Amino acid sequence: MKNLQNKIYNGSLTLLTDLYQITMAYGYWKSQMTEREAVFNLFFRKNPFNGGYTIAGGLSYAIDFLENFHFDDSDIAYLATLTGADGKPLFEQGFLDYLAQMHFTCDVDAIPEGTVVFPQEPLLRIKGPLIQGQLVETALLNIINFQSLIATKAARVCQAANGEPVLEFGLRRAQGIDGGLAASRAAYIGGCTATSNVLAGKLFDIPVRGTHAHSWVMSFPDEKTAFNAYAKAMPNNCVFLVDTYDTLEGVKHAIEVGKELKAQGYHLAGIRLDSGDLAYLSIKARQMLDDAGFIDTNIVASNDLDENIVTSLKQQEAKVNVWGIGTKLVTAFDQPALGGVYKITAIKNEHGQWDYKLKLSEQAIKISNPGLLQVQRFYDDDGLCAADMIYDEESFHPEQQQQATIVDPLDLTRRKIVHVESKHLLLLKPIFKNGRKCYESPDIHSIRAYAKQQLETLHPTIRRFTNPHQYPVGLEKGLYELKTNLILKLRHLA
């Protein structure tokens, strides 16, 4: 995917940020701190939907944003118009000149899209000039938070569908153009088979699917005439929406038109149920279709479905075998945001040495982790994920250890010993080096396949919807002790 943003927008997206990022950047410039090297980490604190895992998404978007990161002439001209409370320019011309000449020069490491990830783990690590790490914060959070959230929701819905196709139908209910496109992409990564979003199909190479709406049926004198007209226009794409008037009568009409299609050498691909008792109606419809010889005709269900309703319909032995999921997928019902955050974790002092930083809080979950963080994932003998260790690359070198102890940062009594020589994987991969991309994003189909494989490495107790098992993620013991000492120092207790 090349220059994605330029396919959708014209010009720079660098001002896709909060004003305080630019005012802080101005403060760094005034304080002569712009080039001081710093490390930022992007992570989230809780899995969404009360689930046991999250699917990392949005990295390709983030790469495209960073590759095109620059302030163009129109950006600089706009910033020059901003004023402070006194009515005078908010920024000096020298600062604006600095921004106009600035190019992205950071190192970026990230967890690839489609990877299963967990709270507190850095999804992205940015190392480079302080001002640059600050200015990219908002856009990266916007991109990664949303697409990870939707990819996770899609994975849950697909899990509930138990291998049956899930079609993403949510564009008309999505949160604007950006939300619609990003949601279609992320939903496909999470496991959806296709989308109704034609622009997403064009931009991202996602399969597109669709038939007709109630308005088609209502445009004709009666339902049978409408189905006949559609079959004549599109005999190779006949999935009839049968609930405009009377659902079971609609099924009868679909069967009648299906017989005419069969006589012409075509196939009735499916019927769609969009209202009513989907379990009862699908069972009756399946019986009617089978009795008429249409045993291969699909029954598609829609109507505000999510993973919980799909699970319930399965338990009721509904005969649906294709699922159209719209509003509750693209809006991530019932959790509208992932809640990812972006924190500075280290900054070099005037002597060129790293000073580790953390954000303190009365809530343990909101205390950030310091250091130049990396994540190592360990696997058991069956190839399942066993534990993730977050460690500081400057002070801990796994290749020099035989074993390590990881500590739950929210409960120091929860500890796990991991054997470093066992099968493992470093999760953060180099993406940019000195501002130059050194990573080639896989195509979207490969990312989707990888996400599916990743989910298969999780124990079923972690994937379940109700009270999932908590996957072991912890800080390497030395990092945990470093963090504790920093907390004590900041609280003036050490």
Quickly list DSSP for 350-391: TTSPEEE-----SSGGGPPPPSSEEEEEEE-TTS-EEEEEEE
Q: What is residue 127's three-state secondary structure?
A: strand
Q: Are 141 and 340 in contact (CB under 8 A)?
A: yes
Token pair 């564009």: residue: 171
Q: Give 8's pLDDT tier (boundaries 50, 70, 90).
A: low
pLDDT at 493: 85
pLDDT at 5 over 80: no
Q: What is the pLDDT of residues 362-382, one digit of tens each?
A: 999 999 999 999 999 999 999
How many contiguous H segments (helices) and E segments (strands) does the chain have? 18, 21
Mean pLDDT in residue range 239-264: 97
The residues near 74 (Cβ < 8 Å, ≥ 6 apart) are 11, 12
The residues near 163 (Cβ < 8 Å, ≥ 6 apart) are none
Q: What is residue 467's three-state secondary structure?
A: coil
Q: How far is CA 282 from the centre of its chain?
A: 32
Q: Are 333 and 306 in contact (CB under 8 A)?
A: yes
Query: What CA–CA distance (Å, rounded) separates 117 from 368?
Result: 17
First to last CA, the chain: 51
List the structure tokens of 390.
């977050």
Query: What CA–CA distance (Å, rounded) separates 167 from 211?
Result: 12
pLDDT at 399: 85
Mean pLDDT in residue range 5-30: 85
Q: What is the pLDDT of residues 199-212, one digit of tens each?
A: 999 999 999 999 89
pLDDT at 111 over 50: yes
Query: What CA–CA distance (Å, rounded) separates 400 from 398?
Result: 5
Residue 218, number of CB atoms within 10 A of its CB: 11
Q: Are 117 and 55 in contact (CB under 8 A)?
A: yes
The strand pair at 37-43 and 124-129 is best described as: antiparallel
Instruction: Share the mean pLDDT of the chain.
Output: 95
Percent of the chain clearing pLDDT 70 (strictly above): 98
pLDDT at 422: 84
pLDDT at 401: 87
pLDDT at 228 over 50: yes
The residues near 222 (Cβ < 8 Å, ≥ 6 apart) are none
Query: Where in 193-340 does DSSP place strands (E)?
Result: 194-195, 239-241, 270-273, 298-301, 322-325
Q: What is residue 59's three-state secondary structure?
A: helix
pLDDT at 460: 97
CA angle centred on 314, ends 311 and 318, rounded to 5° = 140
Order of strands, sheet of 166-168, starting from the edge strand that comes earlier in the sequence? 194-195, 166-168, 322-325, 298-301, 270-273, 239-241
Report in angstroms the alpha-carbon separations of 423 from 59, 115, 183, 378, 461: 26, 17, 34, 6, 21
Mean pLDDT lowest for which of 11-15, 74-78, 125-129, 412-416? 11-15
Query: What CA–CA distance (Å, rounded) separates 408 from 475?
Result: 6
Mean pLDDT in residue range 317-346: 96
Q: What is the pLDDT of residues 47-92, one digit of tens each?
A: 999 999 999 999 999 999 999 999 999 999 999 999 999 999 999 9
CA torsion through residues 171, 173, 176, 179, sign: negative
- Domains identified in the chain and CATH numbers: 4-150+336-490 (3.20.140.10), 158-330 (3.20.20.70)
Q: Are 410 and 462 in contact (CB under 8 A)?
A: no
List the structure tokens of 303.
């109507």
Percent of the chain clearing pLDDT 90 (strictly above): 93
pLDDT at 421 over 90: no
Q: Are 382 and 422 in contact (CB under 8 A)?
A: no
pLDDT at 127: 98
DSSP assignment letter at 49: G
Q: Give 10's pLDDT tier (boundaries 50, 70, 90).
A: low
pLDDT at 2 over 60: no
Token pair 């409960």: residue: 411
Q: What predicted TM-score, i.e. pTM, was given to this entire model?
A: 0.95
pLDDT at 6: 45
Residues 252-287 as b or e (16 or more Cβ within 10 Å = b) = bbbbebbeebeeeebebbbbbbbeeebbebbbebbe
Mean pLDDT in residue range 82-110: 97
Q: Give 11's pLDDT tier (boundaries 50, 70, 90).
A: low
List the structure tokens of 213.
């709406």
Q: What is the pLDDT of residues 465-490, one digit of tens each?
A: 999 999 999 999 999 999 999 999 99
Q: What is the pLDDT of residues 269-303, one digit of tens each?
A: 999 999 999 999 999 999 999 999 999 999 999 99
Query: What CA–CA distance (Å, rounded) separates 387 from 425?
Result: 11
Mean pLDDT in residue range 160-178: 96
Q: Give 400's pLDDT tier (boundaries 50, 70, 90).
A: confident
